[in-house]
Homo-oligomer: A and B are copies of this chain.
């Protein structure tokens, strides 16, 4: 994905706030997993489950926790970086070794940019891009090929808009947001009023706000509010093909997996985790810290409390499991009822 830097183990230990063990002068070029890692690679060992695999790894350097360092006798790797959270340190080191693609400030000849647009001088704009009237694009932002930005759109600093992203008019995007291919922000919400002859469009004249540090997967759609605003909060991450309906309010640090669909006017508070293919009816409120399992379905208007939820319609995971266990006993229950009837009949006969 990008040019490869080489750094020493000592440099990476310093950068990740870890303790260096072994040869700090070794050069590291790439992150890798324990199994495929080789010379010049750095891998990580999150917990005890992987200690055996780690001992067989041919990585030049391993990121490990204190437990691993103290447990180990016969080391394979020539160097270690000891940290409290190896996976997190691995992610930080990966950002250093494999920085996001850099694009020099540039505007491609084929890009069509409205004269009234305010584009920072450090922006990259690729081929076949369109940018509308009064659009504003902040420093360091990268707009890849074929992106369409509407009128009166505001985009912050250091964002990446991957190819084919479509931003309708009047949408606001924060800083450091990553929009993958084809993300669509601000299309009309789905609202109609039935008249005598068919459906009339209910006004969809609100906006969309994407706060800072948000990442949206390919073809994820966030619809414009009918009236007011649809919001995706700071630090929230959505996977591919998620649908966010009009007037939704998604909080901060929320994670939503692929193909989940959220109807209009749903609120999801901070720090919720939502699985894939979940379906939300409208006007639901998910309270901060709730976890909703994949493929769950939630009825309109429901308030979802903190805890782990599962099923259609959702119920607490424990209850869901218990119910499923009971379901497995159904055939046996039918037999038992039959048997009870028989015995009772006999008893009745006998007892006259």
Contact = CB atoms under 8 A, between A and B. Distances in A.
Interface in A192-208: 192-195, 197-205
A97 to B, nearest CB: 8
Interface stretch (A47-55, A73-81, A85-93, A116-124): A85-93
A329 B330 CA distance: 10
A115 interface: no
Interface string A98-142: 100100000010101000000000000011101000000000000
B333 A199 contact: no
A235 B201 CA distance: 11
A10 to B, nearest CB: 21
Interface string A198-242: 111111110000000101011101011001100000110101110
A127 B190 CA distance: 27
A18 interface: no
Contacts of A57: none
A33 B221 CA distance: 24
A185 to B, nearest CB: 9
A281 interface: yes
Given A31-B205, A184-B218, A187-B180, A347 B348 contact: yes
Contacts of A304: none
Interface stretch (A20-28, A64-72, A162-170): A162-170
Interface residues of A, number: 109
Given A146-B148, A180-B187, A241-B219, A276 B277 contact: no
A303 interface: no
A99 to B, nearest CB: 11
Interface string A328-352: 0111011011001101100110110
Main secondary structure of the interface of A (DSSP, over half): loop
A151 to B, nearest CB: 8
A14 interface: no
B193 A253 contact: no
B199 A182 contact: no
A248 to B, nearest CB: 12
A294 to B, nearest CB: 6
Given A33-B228, A182-B166, A205-B1, A241 B239 contact: no
B240 A190 contact: yes
A323 interface: yes
Interface in A228-275: 228, 234-235, 237, 239-241, 243, 245, 252-253, 255, 257-259, 261, 263
A163 B151 CA distance: 13
Given A90-B203, A108-B112, A180-B184, 13 more contacts: A88-B195, A91-B193, A130-B146, A178-B188, A182-B184, A184-B240, A190-B237, A245-B258, A257-B263, A259-B259, A337-B340, A344-B347, A347-B347
